[in-house]
Structure 1
Amino acid sequence: MSLVSKIEDIEAEIKRTQVNKATMAHLCGLRAKLAKYKRELMEPSSGGGGGPGAGFDVRSTGDARIGFIGFPSVGKSTLLTSLTDVVSEAAAYEFTTLTCIPGIKFWRGAKIQLLDLPGIIEGAKDGKGRGKQVIAVAKTCSCIIIVLDAMKPLGHKRIIEAELEGVGIRLNKQPPNIIVKKKERGGLNIASSVPLTYLDNDSIAVILKEYRIVSADVRINCDATADDLIDVIEGNRIYMPCVYALNKIDSITMEELDILDAVPHYCPISSYYKWNLDGLMDKVFEYLHMTRVYTKPKGQMPDYSAPVILRGSAEPTVEMFCKKIHRTLINDFKYGWVWGKSVKHNPGRVGKAHVLMDEDVIQIVKKI
């Protein structure tokens, strides 16, 4: 039996199994098997050939990498052309884009790489179409923009989410606060700091047994699900921000747009008429937690032409800034002078643990 058939059988059994305390452990075991089969399905084959395909191996550049994902003919190519100087072919037929088309967008001092990926189809996680290549590139992105057609059903959103979830990409989520520490002996020691709604000791043991873990210390600090525990054990999940670009809003009424406003993490745009593209880029900038920090050499004016971009942390520190400049700079760091919103007095003397804010100016003083 092929892996795809095994996956379909397990998914069917999960759907027809009634959820209650008596079946909790059985369902958890099925979910663990399902996760293992999906991982095996996405792993590259050992034989030659079947590489990523022409145009898919694009070197990462800039401060962040954004991938456009969506069904065919939703306007991804037009969006790339509207945002950058790159002309990505767009036509009235599906699958116009067959490779990965890169472009560069400079926004608020940051250099952002945009990738127009071929249209995804249902079953991409199982290797249909060019799903494996598209998903492989998506995993290298800092953020994903899922482009949706306002004229088509919102069910497409759920299909794309399911495809990405199926290959270990978690959208707009934080890693679960779970610690699994393997031991050579001593059995399972399970502890939780909060009441568990979706798991019990038996179901946790079943999941661990599926991964051949018979002795471990398990500490759960959140109301975790079976999928959360499996994600921690697998250890290869990718957590990234996602913005839903609702395209072609020029084709719908204001009443319909008000209804769609209830969709979380969404931004209405028209890539053809270039409506609200600035709002889309601002939202991406916000979701990436980008902080611009300007440098000031001693005795000179600050350099406002090229900010240092600190990304991925809601609380970027002076130490992170130093490491972004050069990994050895923190070893020579004595203190810093900061001008901006993060200090009470301008300038303020700070240490390496000081949290910087957007558009701060910093001067580093080195050890003598």
Structure 2
Amino acid sequence: MSFSTQQLISGAFTLNYSTEAQPTEPYASHLFNVTDITDLSNTSHLGLSMLPRCTYNEDFKQILLPAVYSFVFVLGLPLNAAVIQKIWRKRPNLSRNNIYTLNLAIADLLYVMSLPLLIYNYGSHDYWPFGEFTCKLVRFQFYSNLHGSMLFLTCISVQRYLGICHPFVLWHKRGGRKLAWRVCGVVWLVVALLCAPTFHFAATGIQRNRTVCYDLSTPKLSVKYYPYGMALTLLGFVLPFLGIMACYCRMAHFLCRPIPYRSVSMATSEKRDKAVRMIVVVATVFCISFLPFHLTKTLYLLVRTFPGAPCETRNLFSIVYKSTRPFASMNSFLDPILFYFTQPRYRQSTKRFMLKVTSIREKGTNV
């Protein structure tokens, strides 16, 4: 007649909430804490009080998520396609940075192509008619894109750091493009291994007589998901983030030194401006997309695994987390902007194209 701590917590959370698609119908605020109280008579001998079943208020998802995902889809699809086309035209003379950027654009494009399903899902009150496997695949695409983008940005940052702070060191130049392709292969493999458990945790279920697609995990796997979710954040975000920040702090320190103390290769303002632009743009991508999402996700995982957390607290952290999740997808069109700002020749070609279009319009108006 004894229960382990893990069994007790697992049982409580199986009854208390779901992780993604909670009922979205409005409810009276005075019923918030005690909606649908479940009788736990089989555990009353342990002195446990009845546990309230939390009903999350997630009406905001029906407007926020479809709007943001539609915006990301409209911008991300043509921008990433354009980046892939421009880089692919240069083969087989691709630089290492271009190889990393190409793989980054492919990851973003694959994710953007899955957004119409999510737009329909959230616009239809969490209704998911596309089947179990498609649900798992879409969730896998989200997290693999997210962590793949961070790892490819890390590769680009390290490559830039070595070129600026160690321009005369030869070891990182050996292997050239072949080494860069191998690194990309390793990144794809690492991302696949990190995100593979998503196929186990993400699944469809029934909420108020409609099929839903859970994001993090099904309710019964909530406790088991916690260590995996924290490990994914640590390996897929914290370590790349620390690596990028270390590179950029060292680069900023190097670039801010007086010119006589810099190496000759960094004496030109063009290289310096290019490096500064990259630091600013990548830092912006992290601040907008990655940092808020992982911070709120970590707090949400902590709160929902604490059995004594009130329903109001769980609902609050759920809203905050799910409000930042669509903004994590914004990296799908911010990454092409990163490519644009760090490639002067593409800015010049775009400028010439815009001038050409403007001149054609002016001629047509004069006629």
Report the TM range for the smaller structure's normalisation.
Answer: under 0.3
TM-score (norm 2): 0.25
TM-score (norm 1): 0.25
Give the structure with the higher percent helix: 2
- Higher-RCO chain (CA-CA 8 Å, sequence separation at least 6): 2
